[in-house]
Amino acid sequence: MSKETVYPRDNSGATVLRGSLHAEQAFADGIYHVRCIRKVNGKSKVMWRDTIKNTVTTEGRNLALDTILAGSSYSVTGPYMGLISSVGYSAITAGDTAAQIDGANGWAEAGSSTNYPLYTTPRKTCVFSSASGASKALSAALSFPIVTTGGTVKGCFIIYGSGASSTIANTSGKLWSVGLFTGGDKVVSPGDTLQVSYTASM
């Protein structure tokens, strides 16, 4: 007599499918390259070099977005570059606006009244080359000759947009970029010239 045996068995399997997330992000960024030139025995000598990794402000980003994505026509006013004085300085943040330039809210522009050092007026006008590789750079470095009174420079800023002016200490327009020297504050003297280049990237 044959005997058959059946062994019951239950198998189960599970597969988890997850959708992949494809995220694209664009960040506005920029860097200043600064060098100090001084006449020594009748010859120009580079006294120091430093960089500034800037903070692109919310105010500046908002204007850029409105211009790029919503503007039917737009002609830029400026941009203008200035220097940040150590006088009355406390901090810079992404929330800074053009109003900061008067020294009431954290920092002040050099070159005005007692906000040393003094440099030849007006603010320097930024002229940019065509964008390439998602970056846009000044076509030539801007020069800030220090005159009359030296002092301590903390960094640089760029202002632009409707109402922006090349007049030192003017608070109209929108603040695009502000930043401090990577290597710390820099002391400059009359006769020195700061040469500043800038590249913005997205």
Token reading at 145: 């000759």
**Which residue would you say has higher pLDDT here, 100 or 86?**
86
Any domain includes 143: yes
Q: What is the DSSP string of 138-187?
A: BSS-EEEEB-S--EEEEEEEEEESTT--SSTT---SEEEEEEE-TT--EE
Q: pLDDT at residue 9 above 60?
A: no
For residue 9, tell me if it sits in a domain: no
- In this predicted structure, what is the pLDDT of residue 73? 74
What pLDDT does residue 7 have?
A: 47
Model confidence band, residue 75 (pLDDT cutoffs 50, 70, 90): confident
* Containing structural domain, residue 120: 32-201
In this structure, is residue 14 part of a structural domain? no
Position 56 in a domain? yes
Local confidence band at 27 (pLDDT 50, 70, 90 cut-offs): low
| pLDDT value for 67 | 86
pLDDT digits (tens, 9 = 90+) for 46-61: 999 999 999 899 999 9
| Better pLDDT: 100 or 45 | 45
121: in domain = yes
Does 171 map to a domain? Answer: yes
The answer as to whether 169 is a domain residue is yes
Residue 13 lies in a domain: no
Query: Is a pLDDT exceeding 90 seen at residue 146?
Result: yes
Is a pLDDT exceeding 60 seen at residue 10?
no
The answer on pLDDT for 69 being more than 80 is yes
How large is the C-alpha radius of gyration of the chain? 27
Provide the number of structural domains found in the chain. Answer: 1
CA–CA separation, 113 and 137 (whole Å): 31
